[in-house]
Structure formats: structure tokens, C-alpha cells
Structure 1
Amino acid sequence: MTYYTIGNVTFPAIWLATVLAMIGTALLNRIFSRRSTDDWYWNAFLIYLSVWKLSYIIFQYNMFYHTPFSILYFNGGVKGHVLALASVTLYLMKVFKKDTTSIGTDSVRLFLLFFFTYHLLISYMESELSEMNTYIIMLSVFLSIVAIMRKKIVPETQILIFFIFLELLLRSIFQSIFSMETMTFLWIGLTVFILQQLTRRNKGFE
């Protein structure tokens, strides 16, 4: 894993790639949807980050108790990651009950834009050129499909399912299909899928 250093702070490339992907996704979404990204997108990221970091206190309490500043360098690990994902899912479901329009319209696009942008960045930072080229192609294909999504020719759910299976195929080539990264992708993808199905059901009752 590649690390970067700014002053006295050293952090892994995955952190930088995540932040840049969040910003890049918002910019791309602004370009293609011609409106700003709603607050729930940023809030979900902050909830994940907060729970992931603070769960270190729960799962490593003894270490935190003796060295409180260790929280600056450590996190909740795999357990904290799962807890953070669960928190984000609960948050999105809560937001969905109040406003189905934004999440129903944007969740697939934002999820896939973030996913492709993140993998493009992390592949570049880790010098995995073959994987980077693959995600460049996937991002290009998806951006082309975004134009089709505007005209509602292809349902968002079908596009989501297509790219989920395509990603699983790529995972089986480049990495283990049972990795934590794959689990994360499937978790968020399933959450977005459920939100899409609920949105379609609600529209059916209008």
C-alpha cells in the first residue's frame, strides 16, 4: 500500500483517493445533472468517517484508554468498517422516508460515479496500470450511459445490476472476489438497489 506524508502526518493512498473521489463525483454529477449534489451525499460520507474512526474506542478501548491520541492514527478496523456501513445504510433509509425524490433520482449515478472514480484514482496511486485502464473504460462507458439515463430509455436499476455483475467479473480477474472491497461494493450496491425499488414502488402508488 502506498503512503503519503504531509508535514508530520502520514496517511495511506486509500484516504486520499476516497476524498478526491468524493469531490470528483460531485463535480461530474454537477456537469451531467446540471445541479449540485444534495446534502445526504456528503452527510453519508461524514457519518461513515466518524463511525469508522470513533469505533476504535469501542473495539480497542484499552489501547485508547492508555493512549487517547492513538485515535488519530487508528480506526475501528474491519468491525468499525462494517458498523460504519450499517450506519450509512440506516441514515439513507431515514432520509428516504423524508424525501424520496433526490435519493431515487441520484443514488445510482452517484454510487457508480464514486466507485469508478475511486478505483481509477487508487489504481493510479498504486501504479496498477492494467486495472486503471480497465476502470477508465468502465467510467467512459458509464458516462455515455448517463446520457441515456436522462432520457429514461434504460431504467437505473438495470444499469446498476449490469455494473455490479461487471465489477464482480473484474474482481475475479484482478483480486479476490471475497475481499472486503468487494463486500463493501455489494453492500452499498444492495442499499442503492433497495432504495431504487422503494422509489419505483412509491411511484406506482402515486
Structure 2
Amino acid sequence: MSYITVGRFTLPADLIAAIVAIVISALVYKLLNKKSIGDWYWNSLFIYIAVFKLSYALFNFKLFVDTPLSLIFFNGGMKGQILAAISLAVYTLFLSRKTPGMIRNEYVPIYLMFFLLYEMTLYIVEKNVAAVAFQFFILIVFYILYLKNSKSNRVMSTKVFILLILLEALLLSLFDGLIAAENLPILLIGLLLTVIQNIEKEASYHE
């Protein structure tokens, strides 16, 4: 894991990348849609981060009991990532039932935007020029499609979503390893969103 030193503080690169992706995704959404992003966005982030952090206590219970403050500095690792992804999947399924069409219209493009920005920031921090160039290309393609869809009030097609996920998976396999701890849960969420998107699409056809 890479770290960034800011003054007296040393922070994990993935934390910086997550913050950048969270802020920019929300700002882009607001600029294009002329409204603030919904509560589902912040709820999703809270669920993922909370479960990821608290899972440390679950998987390292003795260490947590001995030093409770360790929860601040550590997380559940790979197991925690998977547990957080499962928790987010449950919340996503809840959203799809509560607000039909929301996953296709909002969750899918914002998920992609966050994921791409997150990886882009990590590669910039790591000074991986080749990966940054590849990631920048994928990001530009996404923004063009997202802007086009926003202006015409259309949703991103499942085929385009899958194509972008596959391109990102290719990039991860080339530079990070596809099954790296920080990548696997995010890709699993992408697969889940693909399934839900197809279900919502089929449901809309039968209405």
C-alpha cells in the first residue's frame, strides 16, 4: 500500500483516492443534473466504510479487546472488503425494490464514475504513467457517454457498462492484479449492478 505525507500526517493512498473520488463524483453529478446527489450515495459510502472498519473488531476480536483504539488505525482487510461489498449489495437490492429504475438511472453511472476516479487517483499517486494514460482514456470515454446520456435523459446501456467494467478489469489485471484486495469487492459490486440493471430493464419492458 502506498502512503502520502501531508505535513506531519501520513495517510494511505487509497484513503486519499477515495476522498477525491467521493467529492468529484458528487460535484459532477450536481453540475450535470442541477441538483445535489441523493442520500443513497452517502448512505452507500457510509455502509461500505463502516462495515469495512468495524469488521476489524469481528476478525481480530482479541486484539480489539486488548487495544480498542486500534479500530481507528486498522480495518478488516480482504475479509472486511468482501463483507462491506456484501452489505452494500444488500442495500443496493433494497434500493432497487424501493425505487424502481434508480439503479439504472443513477447508481450505475455514479458507481462507474467513483470507481474510475478512485483508480485514476491511485495511479497518479503511484506515478504509474502508463496506467494513468490508460485510465484517463477510459475516464474520458465514460464522461463523454455520461454527458451525452444526461443531455438526452437516457440511461447508460448495460452493454456500455459491461464494456467499461471489462476495460477497467483489463487495466487492473495489467497493473495491479485483478484479484487484489482493493479491486475484487469493487468488481463484484459492478457485476451485481449489471444483474440488477438487467432485472430493472426487463421489468420496465413488462410494465
Q: Same fold (TM over 0.5)?
A: yes
Whether the 8 Å CA contact 1:47–1:87 is kept in 2: the answer is: yes
SS at 1:82's partner residue? helix
What is the identity, as a one-letter code, of the residue corresponding to 2:75?
N
Question: What residue is the counterpart of 2:65 in the other structure?
Answer: 65
SS at match of 1:68: coil
Partner of 2:102: 102
Residues 149-158 or 20-29, more deviating: 149-158
Q: Name the count of aligned residue pairs.
A: 206
Distance 2:166 2:203 in 1: 26
Q: What is the SS of the residue equivalent to 1:176?
A: coil
How much has 1:152 moved relative to structure 2?
Answer: 6.8
Structure 2 equivalent of residue 49 of structure 1: 49
Shift of 1:172: 3.1
Q: For residues 10 and 168 of structure 1, what CA distance do their matches in structure 2 show?
A: 29
Runs of 4+ in 1 over 4 A off after TM superposition: 5-9, 152-155
Which residue of structure 1 aligns with residue 178 of structure 2? Answer: 177
**Which moves more between the two structures, 152-161 or 9-18?**
152-161
The range that moved more, 190-199 or 29-38, is: 29-38
Quote how far apart the aligned CAs of 1:199 are: 1.5
Alignment gaps of 5+ in structure 2: none
- Aligned residue for 1:25? 25
User: What percent identity do the matched residue pairs reach?
Assistant: 33
How far apart, CA to CA, are the structure 2 residues paired with 1:45 and 1:153? 25
Distance 2:19 2:41 in 1: 13
Matches of 1:154 and 1:96, distance apart in 2: 15
- SS state at 2:192 partner: helix
TM-score, with structure 1 as normaliser: 0.90
1:124-143 matches, within 5 Å, as: 124-143=124-143
The code of the aligned residue for 1:40 comes to: W
- One-letter identity of the residue aligned with 2:198: Q
Q: How does 1:126-165 map to 2 (within 5 A)?
A: 126-150=126-150, 151=152, 155-165=156-166
Conservation of the 8 A alpha-carbon contact between 2:117 and 2:139:
yes
Q: Which AA in structure 1 matches 2:39?
A: D
For the 8 Å contact 1:108–1:156, the answer to whether it is kept is: no
- Is the deviation greater in 22-31 or in 165-174? 165-174
Post-superposition Cα deviations, 1:27-66, rounded to whole Å, max 9, x if no partner, equal 1122233332111111011001111111111110110111
- Partners of 2:3 and 2:13 within 8 A in 1: yes
Residues 72, 172 of structure 1: alpha-carbon distance in 2 compared, 3 angstrom cutoff: closer
SS of residue in 2 equivalent to 1:180 = coil
1:149 is displaced (CA, Å) by: 2.5
Task: Find the aligned partners of 1:31 and 1:171 in 2 and give their Cα distance.
Answer: 29
| Cα drift, residue 5 of structure 1 | 4.5
Alignment-mate amino acid for residue 158 of structure 2: T
Decide whether the 8 Å contact of 1:104 with 1:199 is kept in 2. Answer: yes
Q: Paired residue for 2:192?
A: 191
Unaligned runs of 5+ in 1: none
Please tell me the residue identity of whatever aligns with 1:188.
I
Q: What does residue 86 of structure 2 align with?
A: 86
Q: TM-score, normalised by structure 2?
A: 0.90
Residues 4-43 of structure 1 mapped to structure 2, 5 A cutoff = 4-5=4-5, 10-43=10-43
* RMSD (Å), alpha carbons: 2.0
